[in-house]
A and B are shown apart, each in its own frame.
Chain A
């Protein structure tokens, strides 16, 4: 089962290595990790998706809380997530294929970020499931390369990570 964990950390050197080191040595599998600064410049926010049962998720949360650079940890239940991932995908697009690709992009709400005589680069910001879906739809056009940011997530509703305990 996938577990989504949101973490506020001190925005300083070495923090990412402390967090990824913890996951490695405790044997937790990181599905994806995304990090960026927050409204408070001294803090970064990470969204980590791990594969594991509730015991693993609880252990991850407790061990993360022990790290001194970690300010807050919150496990976001699956049903309460607003989550997005940015995908950029470069596909081979010969002249006659372009309309079909544009059609898929229209259906999926994706944008064309770049175009050449032989390729199209498409961007989509959506849920991980829909990102998977557009990749599937574009496979017949010969995918040249893909880059994904990993999931970022917020909890639905008025709650914020700031009003939970550490």
Chain B
């Protein structure tokens, strides 16, 4: 007989968990007590939301669910933004929250919050554990549900008295959940229809999304594109699934995408969407697209098909399985003319790369950074202008791009990088954020120091909430409201206070040297990149 808390730790070990992100408190103390004697490494974040983001970064880089442990009440409610961010981007997380004891639930006692209720819209599933004997089954199901089908966060809320109960612990080998049987391989007749549609098209286009990364299907998608000679564009969530420099890849589509990619989307006769929601930022006018092109929508979540864009050929399945099936029944299609046209459009894409005085052109900086990154580097971009500069100007080989695509959660990048670095300590890990987003997460510098993590942080400093400033100038008559970051600290002094080496970059001529100094220094580093307040996103 062991305690439920010991059983939970045991279950984590069974699931191959070696690191958890969390923040203790009274209602989760039995669990932490058991954790102390285990081989699992606990990373103390500085706010619970960041435990969620760190687990997200960990999951995206390791391909396994990230694990979060927090206490009841405010610990749990602080975590909600982390869960919601992961939910929107389909990232597998197993969150464990302490809860007040069973006999106290519903009496509004100290640090009580109905977290399974509050997190319901942002979790794939949740459990409030009242029967101690169910914990082995629940732990097994939690990992299975989080990581299978369309991945997502799950939450186990466990009252403190349940954690202390004694149970017979037998960890199950299999799960059998009556209402959960995700479809993973494509229906053969539908595969045939997609293959025929590809072969009949003259202006085919693949639009790949985060589902390609979730399924680890980048290689298969690339093979399909090459075999059939189909050009590719990507949503923000799909970036780094295929190499940016590939001749058939035309970059990011959508509101902040490039003109060639958007031309391709609006002029294709066949659009094969793979693992993407066709959300409003990626596909600004789905009605127009579905009129001009035959839309094939491949997604592991049937509910995404037909939700935002009408699909002529729906195909439910895991991207890797489906694309592998397609590879077996397609050939080269007659797209040479189309590719020539897109190549012209690619050549016509123009960005403002002109030199700046007294500040750094952020596009030029990101390109300069990209040149010196390791081929397999992990780059976590935050939300705002920094994200768009990163998305459009970073070049990926076999690296990985992490960002909060669906929720657009500021403060994502630093904790995500913490998780990513712990998942792959050997990979170069770089953060690109703004001075707004940095101040939402700079408490995590302590986590970086405590864990001794080699995470490089670039703060694009313009003293503004740049993307909102741009919105106000473009759509609200130029009245600037609430976007000035005047009270910001000296980030170099701040980094120094943490003992983190740092530098300020304000002259473009110094980009190569500043980047190499940052990348070559041992351990964490903060580079402040001075950007003009009036720079635009594109």
Contacts and interface: CB of A to CB of B under 8 A. Distances in A.
Interface in A5-34: 9-10, 13-14, 17-18, 21, 25
A68 B307 contact: no
A70 B179 contact: yes
A10 B178 contact: yes
B179 A67 contact: yes
B145 interface: yes
Nearest to A43: B178
A103 interface: no
A17 B116 CA distance: 11
A68 B124 contact: yes
Chain B: number of interface residues, binned into ranges: 10 to 19
B178 A25 contact: no
B25 to A, nearest CB: 24
B177 A166 contact: no
A17 B128 CA distance: 14
A63 interface: yes
Contact of B120 (A18, A66, A71): A18
B180 interface: yes
Contacts, number: 36
B117 interface: yes
Nearest to A21: B120
A74 to B, nearest CB: 14
Nearest to B152: A66
A69 interface: yes
A62 B303 contact: yes
Contacts of B116: 14
B121 interface: yes
Contacts of B307: 59, 62
Interface in B320-359: none
Contacts of A63: 303
A23 B440 CA distance: 33
A17 B303 contact: no
Contacts of B219: none
Contact of A65 (B121, B128, B145, B303): B303
A80 interface: no
Interface string B145-158: 10000000000000
B159 to A, nearest CB: 14
Nearest to A66: B303
A9 B178 CA distance: 10
B117 A17 contact: yes
Interface in A36-76: 58-59, 62-63, 65-71
B179 A71 contact: yes
B162 to A, nearest CB: 15
A73 to B, nearest CB: 10
Contacts of A65: 302-303
Contacts of B306: 58
B48 interface: no
Nearest to A70: B179
Contacts of B145: 68
A50 to B, nearest CB: 16
B59 to A, nearest CB: 20
B107 interface: no
B301 interface: yes
A62 B177 CA distance: 18
Contact of B302 (A10, A13, A62, A69): A62
Contacts of A68: 124-125, 145, 177, 179-180
Contacts of B303: 59, 62-63, 65-66
A13 B306 CA distance: 32
A67 B152 CA distance: 13
B178 A71 contact: yes
B146 to A, nearest CB: 12
A162 to B, nearest CB: 12
A9 B179 CA distance: 8
A7 to B, nearest CB: 10
A66 B306 CA distance: 15
Interface in B163-194: 177-181
B304 to A, nearest CB: 9
Contacts of A18: 120
Nearest to B121: A25
Contacts of B180: 68
Contacts of B120: 17-18, 21
A69 B179 contact: yes
Contacts of A70: 179
Contacts of B178: 10, 71
Contacts of A21: 120-121
Residue with the greatest number of chain B CB neighbours at <10 A, chosen from A9, A13, A66:
A66
Nearest to B130: A13
Nearest to B149: A66
Given A59-B303, A62-B302, A65-B303, A166 B179 contact: yes
Given A62-B302, A63-B303, A68-B145, A14 B128 contact: yes
Interface in A56-108: 58-59, 62-63, 65-71
A66 B121 contact: no
7 contacts: A13-B128, A21-B120, A58-B306, A59-B307, A62-B302, A62-B303, A68-B179
Given A17-B120, A21-B120, 9 more contacts: A14-B128, A58-B306, A62-B303, A65-B303, A67-B179, A68-B125, A68-B177, A68-B179, A166-B179
Interface of A: 9-10, 13-14, 17-18, 21, 25, 58-59, 62-63, 65-71, 166
Interface of B: 116-117, 120-121, 124-125, 128, 145, 177-181, 301-303, 306-307
The 4 closest A-B pairs by CB, nearest first: A62-B303, A71-B179, A68-B180, A68-B125
